Amino acid sequence: MGNSRSDIEVIYSAEAIAERMDGLAQEIAQLDSKKLAVIAILKGSFVFAADLIRAMHRAGMDPEVDFITLSSYGKSTVSSGTVDILRDVAIDVAGRDILLVDDVLDSGRTLAYAKDLLSARGAQSIRTCVLIEKDVARAVDIGADFRAFKSQNVFVVGYGMDMAYQFRELPFVGRVVNT
């Protein structure tokens, strides 16, 4: 059949993630942006983005929220090196402060592509927020303005992130073992 939950080693527990969301939202609230738009890069960031924007609400923020779907992986666990737009944002980003939310910063290609795209469309400022910033050499020169966690270079699943469409439902971040 496929992998089972017993094949997943927990890296960040559901409790650790929940605890980090409020602190992360407080850091973002320091931006004091009046016209903030949160743009979540789907699909992997959907759970993180949902928890983050609720934490931002608790921190007194009221951002607009939209989504963009970009792909550099397909069904692989290794980036293809090219980024495709599968679904574009609907809001006008011109003159706006943007917070780009993504699940993992590793090669940097997806985040850099999204940042360049929104910049070309006239965004006033673009900051990045990731659930996990991997400690790896990047294919492009980009870092996260905000991050929940730093991680070694391991392929992670759970909390919205998948491996060939499996494991998104897990309430924690883990890595597949015994594959």
Token pair of 107 as six digits: 């090669």
Tell me how far CA of residue 116 lies from CA of 26, 138, 171, 174, in angstroms: 26, 16, 32, 30
Q: Which residue has the tokens 């090669």?
A: 107
Q: How far is CA 156 from CA 60, 64, 108, 170, in A?
A: 31, 29, 16, 11
Q: From the candidates 51, 97, 103, 106, which is the catalytic residue?
A: 106
Instruction: Return the CA Rg of the chain.
Output: 16
Q: 């929220």: which residue's tokens?
A: 65
Nearest alpha carbon to residue 43 among 157, 155, 174, 171? 157
Q: Which helix (H) or strand (E) holds 27?
A: helix 14-29
Token pair for 4:
């089972």
Asked if 106 is an active-site residue, the reply is: yes
| CB-based contact 144:106 (threshold 8 Å) | no
The residues that are catalytic are 106
